Structure 1
Amino acid sequence: MSGAAIVDQNRRDFLFLATGAVGAVGVGAVVWPLIDQMNPDASTLALAAIEVDITAIQEGQIVTVKWRGKPVFIRHRTAKEIDEAVNTPISELRDPQTDAERVKKAPWLVVVGICTHLGCVPLGHEGKYDGWLCPCHGSVYDTSGRIRQGPAPLNLEVPEYAFLSDTKVRIG
């Protein structure tokens, strides 16, 4: 081959690579905004986690906080409520979970306050087990948020949470 043919071949290879690189950058520039718009906005990320001061919650009291647009119940359980929840036979439960699986610190119960039947908000300190009662369809939850009676198929959801100290809990 002559020297001119080798130079033309090298030039052609360079043009193919350069065209491919420019095309890849162009595709990336078009696709990136489409992918990026799927990320949650700043207001949603701000609600991703909340910190709650639990020092003012008296024993036996239930406090409702809002997290991700949902009510979350924080219950400071009495020794009697804890004892009843711990000693409930698993065979009696529709959605079997022990109290230890639902609670990270014995007196504190943190659950999402939405009935698992049709999404109603149950009332606290109600029902046969002094837990929660859904007034719409009669689902009854115990002091551990486990379904005991009614049409709800599952226990009240336990959100991701952690105790930052003895006085603060972080939900989310």
Structure 2
Amino acid sequence: MAHQDAPQPGRRDFLYIAAGAVGAVGVAGVTWPLINQLNPDASVLALASIEFDLSSIEEGQSVTIKWRGLPVFVRHRTPTEISEAQAVPLSDLKDPQTDQQRTKEGHEQWLIMVANCTHLGCIPVGESGEFGGWACPCHGSQFDTAGRIRKGPAPTNLVVPPYEFVSDTLVQIG
């Protein structure tokens, strides 16, 4: 006679599989909220990028806007400021960057920078200092008309955030 050695599935096997499935769903139900809480909240995501209309800024004028909770300088530079910034030899700079590296091609008149001194995070005062750019009142760092560090304890230039021109008068930061 033929004898079959494989046991037939029964109620006990079904209970093992059902308990395992319920346990897996329970672990996923507990783990998901823990992982999801690491995501940024809606207010941060809303500030991730902003659009700003440049048409109201006249030549030689600066405005300060807010992006991701940080102040950002937007300056409409004069041709004199641009030529002064382009004429500076890189050997005179603590953190060498050309003016072209700090602006967008075709839009050299617009300088957009995070308005925090790279020394201790103070907000520099515009159109001041020996170089006609920005000066940090706290520790004396001085930046030129391209936001490059020229004098003082700041280790690097003012930070240029990621931005692009949507049109001639509209810029998207972030």
TM over 0.5: same fold? yes
Aligned pair partner of 2:133 in 128, 131, 136: 131
1:7 alignment partner, SS class: coil
CA displacement 1:80-136 (0-9 Å, x = unmatched):
111111121111111111111111121000000000111100000001111000001
Tell me the TM-score normalized by structure 1.
0.91
**Structure 1 outlier segments of 4+, above 4 Å:** 1-5, 14-18
Percent of matched pairs sharing the same residue: 61
> Aligned ranges for residues 94-113 of structure 1 at < 5 Å?
94-104=94-104, 105-113=107-115
What secondary structure is seen at the aligned counterpart in 1 of 2:112? strand
**CA-to-aligned-CA distance 1:53-85 (integer Å, 9 cap, x gap):** 100111111110011111100010111111111
Q: 1:84, 1:17 → 2: CA distance?
A: 76
1:162 pairs with one of 160, 164, 169: 164
Cα displacement (A) at 1:20: 3.5
Tell me how far apart the structure 2 counterparts of residues 6 and 137 of structure 1 sit (CA, whole Å). Answer: 82
How far apart, in 2, do the equivalents of 1:65 and 1:152 lie? 22
Inter-CA distance 28–74: structure 2 relative to 1 (3 Å threshold): same
Q: Which residue of 2 is the match for residue 88 of structure 1?
A: 88
Q: Residue 153 of structure 2 aligns with which residue?
A: 151
Cα distance between partner residues in 1 of 2:68 and 2:37: 20
Deviation per residue, 1:112-163 (Å, 9 max, x gap):
0000111100000001111000001100001111100000001101111111
CA-CA distance at 1:9 after TM superposition: 8.1
> What does residue 8 of structure 2 align with?
7
Offset of residue 2 of structure 1: 4.8
Q: CA deviation at 1:4?
A: 7.9
Q: Which has the higher helix share?
A: 1
Taking structure 2 as the reference length, the TM-score comes to 0.90
Counterpart-to-counterpart distance in 2, 1:39 and 1:129? 43
Unaligned 5+ segments in structure 1 are none
Aligned partner letter, 2:57 = I
Number of aligned pairs?
A: 171
Amino acid at match of 2:114: V
* SS at 1:158 equivalent: coil
| CA deviation after TM superposition for structure 1 residue 6, in Å | 2.5
Q: Over aligned residue pairs, what C-alpha RMSD do you find?
A: 2.0
